[in-house]
Structure 1
């Protein structure tokens, strides 16, 4: 069991980049954690961590060891959870998602799950780019839109409406587009990966229209694109989840509401081998139940 504790300590130090932070999580002295990880390195005959006065960073060997070792820890935690009669989940659950989905959809609904499983550590990894979930030991990721080809498995949990929005201040200056084609005469705010021309697709009464647009301003986060639009920089296309607060408070208004834009799928994605984790499945089931028809603008998928 001491060896298992050492492996868990190494995992946390590697992810947190800090001996002191890992020590606080486990209720141990920093010197004790440092010594146990050093003993692990000595036993392996390899340096796993590069230590400086400013940071603790995994070496190449350390990253490889972590990638191979963490699934073993996860399997052990699942074995323990499967026989625990109380139904309480313990261990570590790493969940990946976009920043906007984390802040506006998952975090406000998370309290009942953590109260039900007080000894489960839930780590939310927020990133608008597609993560290497295997390398980063993410147990389940929530992603909006098409999934890339991969060796993992996915489960559709809902669909979410895409909307076109702009700030009243921008519309006062530039006018309000009355048809999709009018968008080509406006300033466009692009979100992640939108530095190149994007095609916005619309449909009304069987008529389909595609408008190719070049962003004037772009950002690498969804929240950043919404903030730019709310600041009057132009028109953006985003999900209703990402901008509902701004629509409610009037800092953004919806454009072309009579034109339908394609709903986006929201998938729970399990990296290779992670779909069997009890904690990951339990968390997905919880989110699905929490969303239901409560997710404004979404319809259950």
Structure 2
């Protein structure tokens, strides 16, 4: 990569992250080197692009305009490189934002096939149970469940995971196996990210829909905690199938009221707004959609 391209990519990450240190780490530079490279870029451009204080790094008016034009150029260059190769080979860095539980359970076990197909591509997984800011964190594609809050972002539906009620065999042996929705009122519940919420559990069977209110004695903020609590026998949990598949297959959890439908939670690949999606980001979305559709 030429020095000018390095400087442009570094400037974009400094502008988006608001930090020379963070941008430098992402691209393999020390903080002093990152600062020097961007300063040299400003001298070449002939304008101050960033305002530096002890607390923050922000864009000047000229810098904001330069950033918008630079990102468009870099995206177009990536697309041109990909098209020119003509082989479908992907290169560079792909930054993926996703929930930790989904990453560990469903994405990482499938990732070797994608990585082997694109050996020149470096993949960075930004795994967190909090949704990443696509622009600030430099995310090329985020794998997100549920409703999409950012209506201006570009998104592609990848699939959906069925919502289930699950509990450990030991818990059900002690507390009894619910035979109908009304029986749930007599059971302990674990409230996790998926539910149950204060409005209750909506359940459908043979075109009949009920909303069952339950009391949660334990609240857990991450899916892994809710699944672990259910395995430990602390009560019934609501989970997406992908969030407890391994425990169901191993017999450590079993589905409660399997004849009743609790709906599904959709999964989308979300791309930053205002710019073309990277070829590698699009390719990963297509790969994940195909992999999740394959029951094997």
1:246 equivalent in structure 2: 247
Aligned in 2, Cα 1:214/1:76: closer, same or farther, shift over 3 Å?
farther
Paired residue secondary structure (1:128) = coil
Q: Per the alignment, in what secondary structure is the counterpart of residue 241 of structure 1?
A: helix
1:67, 1:210 → 2: CA distance? Answer: 50
Partner of 2:179: 178
Tell me, in whole angstroms, the C-alpha distance in 1 between the residues paired with 2:72 and 2:103: 24
TM-aligned CA deviation for residue 129 of structure 1: 3.1
**Structure 1 stretch displaced more, 229-238 or 34-43:** 34-43
Flag structure 2 segments of 5+ consecutive residues without an equivalent: 43-47
CA gap 1:59/1:253 in 2 versus in 1, 3 angstroms: same
State the 1:8 CA deviation.
Answer: 3.7
What pairs up with 1:111-122 in 2 under 5 angstroms? 111-122=112-123
**Alignment length (residue pairs):** 281
Q: Which moved more, 1:105-114 or 1:169-178?
A: 169-178
| Alignment correspondent of 2:96 | 95
1:35 to 2:36 alignment: no
Would the alpha carbon gap of residues 129 and 199 (structure 1) be closer, same or farther in structure 2, given more than 3 Å must change? farther
Alignment of 1:222-241 (within 5 A): 222-241=223-242
Report the CA distance shift for 1:60/1:242 in structure 2 as closer, same or farther (over 3 A). same
| Partners of 2:102 and 2:5 in 1: CA distance | 34
In 2, the alpha carbon distance for the partners of 1:20 and 1:279 equals: 22
Q: What is the match of residue 268 of structure 1? A: 269
5 Å matches for 1:1-301? 1-9=2-10, 11=13, 17=22, 22-23=27-28, 34-41=32-39, 43=42, 44=48, 46=50, 59-61=56-58, 73-148=74-149, 150-192=151-193, 197-274=198-275, 276-294=277-295
TM-score after normalising by structure 2: 0.80
SS at 2:58 equivalent:
helix
Q: Is the 8 A contact 2:20 2:34 kept in 1?
A: no
Q: Aligned partners of 2:98 and 2:239: how far apart in 1?
A: 16
Q: Give the TM-score of the pair, scaled to structure 1.
A: 0.79
Would you say the 8 A contact 1:6–1:37 is kept in 2? Answer: no
The Cα of 1:226 is off from its aligned counterpart by 0.8
Q: Aligned-pair distance for 1:237? A: 0.7
Q: Quick check: 2:10–2:38 contact (8 Å CA) kept in 1?
A: no
Cα distance between partner residues in 2 of 1:193 and 1:16:
36
C-alpha distance after superposition, 1:92-151 (max 9, x if no partner)? 222222222211111111112212222222122223333322332222222222323511
Change (3 A) 1:252 1:261: same
Q: Indicate if the aligned counterparts of 1:140 and 1:269 stay in contact, CA closer than 8 A.
A: yes
1:37 deviation in Å? 2.9
Do the aligned residues in 1 keep the contact of 2:195 with 2:238 (CA within 8 Å)? Answer: no
Deviations 1:180-223 (A, max 9, x none): 22222222112228595143111112221111334322222111
Deviates more, 1:218-227 or 1:273-282: 273-282
User: Measured at CA, do residues 102 and 275 of structure 1 come closer, stay the same or move farther in structure 2, by a change above 3 Å?
Assistant: farther
CA contact (8 A) 2:167 2:255 kept: yes
- Distance of aligned partners of 1:88 and 1:234 in 2 relative to their CA distance in 1, 3 Å threshold: same
Separation (CA, whole Å) in 2 of partners of 1:292 and 1:275: 26
Residues 256 and 141 of structure 1: is their aligned pair in 2 closer, same or farther, counting only changes over 3 Å? same
1:197, 1:215 within 8 Å by CA — same for their partners in 2? no
